[in-house]
Amino acid sequence: MPIVYLGLGSNIEPQKNLRLGLRELEKRFGKLDRSSVYQSKAYGFDGDDFLNMVVGLDTKLPSIEIYDQIEEIQRAAGRDRIVRGYLSRTLDIDLLLYNDLILDQAPIQLPRSDVLRFSFVLGPLAEIAPKLIHPEIGQSYQDLWAAFDTNRHPITRKLENCFINRRKSKTFKSNSRED
């Protein structure tokens, strides 16, 4: 069964909207492997800080059906897809990885380029899938994270009880500050 990783983020009522996203994902896909929640400054615009995390799930659905499910969940959270660009979000869910599939067919890009660009994606992914190999680069996410310049866009791990409900325990050497 394919293993899928999704990135979640919000800076508008982020705890409420991340909870909604997690609840809806669990209803549709079952148990989730959850990273810690990380806080980061808004990227590309002035706005409130974001809370971000990554979840892993097992599903038999093809990538386009997962994408459609994600779109429904974002709409339920009040996400407006008409407006594009860097701006505040009620809930942003991105399909990051689908096994080792490499695909660039709108609206899906796998692996998503954000994995290698943003600390708030790569850090949480390395936490829950450290040994997984990036299908294009050929390096583990743990190694990619260790080499990542976190000064570019720092993240802070936030361990709020409302988000801790992991399927399995993983060891993670963080490059981030901890509160």
At 140, is the secondary structure helix, strand, or coil? Answer: strand
pLDDT one-digit tens code per residue, 83-132: 666 667 889 999 999 999 999 999 999 999 999 999 999 999 999 999 99
**CA-CA distance, 74 to 93, in Å (whole number)?**
7
Average pLDDT of the chain?
Answer: 87
Q: How many domains does the chain have?
A: 1
Confidence (pLDDT) at 33: 96
Integer angstrom CA distances of residue 33 from 82, 122, 125, 136, 169: 31, 15, 10, 23, 9
Sign (positive/negative) of CA torsion 140, 40, 173, 127?
negative
Q: What is the CATH number of the domain that holds 144?
A: 3.30.70.560
Domain encompassing residue 102: 3-178
